Chains A and B, each alone.
Chain A
Amino acid sequence: MTMLPETTEKKLGLVIDLDTCVGCQACATSCKEWNAQGYSAPLEDEDPRGKDPHGPWLNRIHGYEVLDEVREDSRIVHFPRSCLHCETPACVIVCPTGASYKRAEDGIVLVNPDTCIGCKLCSWACPYGAREYDVKEGIMRKCTLCVDRIYNENFAEEDRIPACVRACPTSARHYGDLGDPNSDVSKLVKERGGFDLLPEMGYKPTNKYLPPRKRRDQAEEGREALPKSDRSMVDRLFALADSLLSGKAGPH
């Protein structure tokens, strides 16, 4: 059904830390691996070993450079992008068959592989590029939030999380209920100033992004600058010892 649920009991989603993501692609590859074998149809590539390999991936890791004109410096930010499981997803509303739907119990947005006709209109409606068409299966594919893992009672408790979160070596991906203000993910969002992508478009994404922290030399508070010499006898003695031990000409 493409009618959206008025509210969902939970708002399951991801919180992605742009500060700690190192762009290793482990989340993307583990996502591909998991989703090529479990729920829904295989997630095959076309021409996988040829000149033009391409196919549906449900998670893409961009790399951006953020210039700081004042400091004439820049930093690299790795930016994982997948379905944000919006509260008012346009992709669901436009679906003519009801194959795209948002679950009332947990807010996960899914595609039913047995009723999707492959018209691609949902991919046009999504501003985040979260949906990729599977030519081999003739259906649209998207992140399922590993719905076949998170409720899987055959798994150990610690494995009942999305494959991408499980794989992340720097804990840059967090999974939980963003509808519960007391959940760990909600607290993290509050503490770190988590933000929405393209909030002005009004789709109310569930997934949040945590901004990169300020670098040590940019931070206003808690700045860890080295103490300066006060030119006292003790200081000069240490400076002399330092220069002798390091073999340099003198204190600078």
Chain B
Amino acid sequence: MNPAYSVIFFTTASGAGYGLLAILGLIGALTGAQLQTLFALIAIALALVLITAGLLSSTFHLGHPERAWRALSQWRTSWLSREGVAAIFTYPPALLFGLVVSGLYTNESLIAPLGFIIAFMAMITVFTTGKIYASLTTIRAWNQPLTVPVYLIFALATGASLMLALLSLFTFNSGLVGPFAMVALLLAALMKILYWRAIDRAPRDRTMAAATGLGDGVRQWETPHTTKNFVQREMGFVVARRHAEKIRRIVLALLIIASLSSAFAGALPALAPLAALASLLAAWAERWLFFAEGEHVVTLFYGNPRT
């Protein structure tokens, strides 16, 4: 699949934003206490800016951005529509939570329930994003049980490392956020290893013979057109195996750097921004590779013997 930068930016930026929102919600839910006003405002603003920038980026990627509102209508069948609905429903409680947790509107009894609600809504939204990809049977590398968990853990891990960086900027005690980020980042690395193992082992049992019905002796003789068409441009992109291996190692190295930096950020706060940067780069590279390794069934009609 063609790794379009707008989609990679959308899923990594909004993923980190929803992760940050979920961590902020959890802090509110567990402590039920107001945070320092400026810190709370910056944290909620950063989360919502990342989410909104991601959503806008994916909207501009549309052929008709002015019709984007129509995408909220088909939530009964479409995961993309459900994602839109979940994203919209997350805004009001997130904004209200921002008001109460920062103390702009004093009502401490609302902090814990709203915290739970926004943490839940943030994860639901990321879940729907993952489902868009995981439900496509045409791309075996996406139609995997680990696709959705990987989306969730990357959102939480990048969100936690962003929260850690914010806490260190304010020279606040990071408490459990450091260990949480460390564990989430390690878990992300572990799940990616399991995911890559799963896609490498998945049987490549869809064949040109089945696609064309012409038997095992079939091979491409002539393409239907002399320049690449939309199908080839959008779905014909496949990364070279050697190149993919290199990027996998880069993703793992970045996740380990981010995890170790998070572990020691309590003692050495300067490590926290490094953890955030490394985790975001890891998410970006991981997402690029997720697209580049997604081999589409339609390639069978264009000379690919099996997928």
Contact = CB atoms under 8 A, between A and B. Distances in A.
Interface residues of A, number: 68
A97 B74 contact: yes
A62 B220 contact: yes
A124 B138 contact: yes
Interface in A47-73: 52-54, 56-57, 60-69
B297 interface: yes
B139 interface: yes
Contacts of B220: 62-65
A120 B234 contact: yes
Contacts of B77: 2-3, 92-94
A132 interface: yes
B224 A129 contact: no
B227 interface: yes
A214 to B, nearest CB: 12
Contacts of A18: 214
B208 to A, nearest CB: 8
Given A117-B70, A129-B298, A139-B64, A96 B215 contact: no
Interface string B34-72: 000000000000000000000000000111110110111
Interface string A85-122: 00000101111111100000000000000011111110
A117 B225 contact: no
Contacts of B298: 126-129
B137 interface: yes
Contact of B76 (A3, A53, A74, A118): A3
A65 B62 contact: no
Is the contact region of chain B dominated by helix, strand, or loop, or is it mixed? mixed
Contacts of B230: 54, 56, 123, 132-133
Interface residues of B, number: 55
Given A28-B224, A127-B137, A132-B231, 12 more contacts: A61-B224, A63-B220, A66-B215, A67-B219, A74-B217, A79-B214, A81-B301, A94-B78, A94-B132, A125-B138, A126-B138, A212-B214
Interface of A: 1-3, 18, 23, 28, 52-54, 56-57, 60-69, 74, 76-77, 79, 81, 90, 92-99, 115-121, 123-129, 132-135, 137-140, 195-202, 209, 211-212
17 contacts: A57-B225, A60-B224, A62-B223, A64-B221, A68-B217, A77-B212, A79-B214, A81-B301, A90-B136, A93-B78, A98-B73, A119-B62, A123-B231, A126-B298, A128-B298, A140-B63, A200-B206
